[in-house]
Amino acid sequence: MSKEKKKMSLALKIFIALVAAIVAGLLMVNHASFATAYIKPFGTIFLNLVKFIVVPIVLFSIMSGIISMRDIKKVGSVGLKTVVYYLCTTAFAIIFGLLGGNIFKGLFPVVTTTDLVYEAAEPTPFMDTLVNIFPSNIISPMANANMLQIIVMALLIGFSIILIGPRNQKIIDGVNTLNDVFMKCMEMILELSPIGVFCLLCPVIAENGAKIIGSLAMVLLTAYICYIVHAVIVYSITVKAFGGVSPAKFFKEMMPAIMFAFSSASSVGTLPINMDCTEKLGVDREVSSFVLPLGATINMDGTAIYQGVCAIFIASCFGIQLTLPQMVTIVLTATLASIGTAGVPGAGMIMLAMVLTSVGLPVEGIALVAGVDRIFDMGRTTVNITGDACCSVIVNNLEKKREAKRA
Ligand code: ASP
């Protein structure tokens, strides 16, 4: 009970920090350079600490999870359910984005497109993304915090520990102890999250405050309506139907992670808090330690929604009417693009180039939305991590049922 109380109070502290950051940011709209120079660095320090702990947490918690499952088939079953859920919900998300874009299209501003310049980065082809999942050495996945490669590494080493049989006791103890050490380290870092949230969000509001009420307000509002509709409809229904958890309880326990994602715009950075929240929702570590890092890398429902809304907006600015087959193409490419998007701030905007190109829209159109990308990003990251958590609750419940049946 006292533990519960302590955790509640951290959520409240984060909430207060969030509100304080919005108020302070709005007061500093005319002194944005001060906020950027002196407040943002503390946010960056906090985010660095979180990123520092993410790699060992993912590596050791997946290994420790596999060792405790002692069953390679179970890992396969968890993996399959996870990927199916991620793909289906992302397809829904992009459909919501396109629907919302079409419904509100009439209210979007028509911005002149003659002087637009945007240098699109070369998007990574899908086959390269596939190849890049597999690490070619043991150091670079950790040095570059490449989550998919770390997951592959942890799976291989974890399976090997199981397969060497009785000789593995010492290494099992070692992995479990290291896992405990990094978890403790993470707990200490998370205690600082209210300060982190304040220092990350305040400069963003100070820099962008005026833009929120600027000409793109309707496009931003449309994206946020779609984010909320997707979260309320898809996550509430699936978490109740397949996860056996009431939507009210789910969103309540998820609040710290939601607020952190909103402030940091990084799914990977939110990973430790997300693990903490899903644990409170009753998800076993062995499931969350696999499902969440995978989701932070490949499951981006919010990003998919954003790409749908922006594609419609950019098309309307160029006076192009998207046809139904083009919209279907957007559903497919945005699903792939969201898989290829890294869980870091701004990554979704780079992948928007791939979506626009697939239907022949000019990539320079990205310049229309680039100025307010951070505001889109805060919402899409929040949806991204909520989808990951929802999946972990569902997979955990389905696995428990499967085991009960087998027993
Ligand atoms: N910032 C997002 C995330 O971390 C990715 C994106 O830019 O869409 O989930």
The rounded average pLDDT for each run of 10 residues, N- to C-terminus, in the chain (407 residues) is 53 85 90 91 89 86 81 84 93 93 86 65 71 91 86 91 88 92 86 89 82 78 96 95 95 94 90 92 90 89 95 90 90 85 83 87 86 90 97 95 85
Give the Å distance between the CA of 345 and the centre of ligand 1: 5
- Distance (Å, whole) CA 301 – CA 213: 25
Q: Are 396 and 386 in contact (CB under 8 A)?
A: no
What per-residue confidence (pLDDT) applies to 348? Answer: 87
What per-residue confidence (pLDDT) applies to 3? Answer: 47
- Distance (Å, whole) CA 73 – CA 81: 13
What per-residue confidence (pLDDT) applies to 405? Answer: 86
Does the C-beta of 381 come closer than 6 Å to ligand 1?
A: yes
> For the segment 72-87, what is each residue's pLDDT rounded down to a tens digit?
788 888 889 999 999 9
CA 182, 256, 265 angle in degrees (round to 5)? 85
Does the C-beta of 244 come closer than 6 Å to ligand 1?
A: no
Give the Å distance between the CA of 302 and the centre of ligand 1: 8
Does the C-beta of 300 come closer than 6 Å to ligand 1?
A: yes
Neighbours of 213 (CB within 10 A): 9
Burial of 121 (0-12, 13-18, 19+ CB in 10 A): exposed
* Ligand 1 closest atom vs CA 381: 9
Does the C-beta of 203 come closer than 6 Å to ligand 1?
A: no
Does the C-beta of 345 come closer than 6 Å to ligand 1?
A: yes
What is the pTM for the complete model shown?
0.85
Does the C-beta of 305 come closer than 6 Å to ligand 1?
A: no
Place of tokens 């709005």: 26
Does the C-beta of 348 come closer than 6 Å to ligand 1?
A: yes
- Distance (Å, whole) CA 385 – CA 130: 22
DSSP string covering 314-364, please? HHHHTT-PPPHHHHHHHHHHHHHHHHH--SSTTHHHHHHHHHHHHTT--GG
What per-residue confidence (pLDDT) applies to 338? Answer: 81
- Distance (Å, whole) CA 225 – CA 315: 20
In single-letter form, the type of residue at position 59 comes to L
Quick one: CA dihedral 85, 90, 95, 101, positive or negative? positive
* Ligand 1 closest atom vs CA 302: 8
Does the C-beta of 199 come closer than 6 Å to ligand 1?
A: no
What per-residue confidence (pLDDT) applies to 253? Answer: 94
- Distance (Å, whole) CA 208 – CA 211: 5
Give the Å distance between the CA of 374 and the centre of ligand 1: 10
Residue bearing the CA closest to ligand 1, atom 8: 348
Residue bearing the CA closest to ligand 1, atom 1: 345
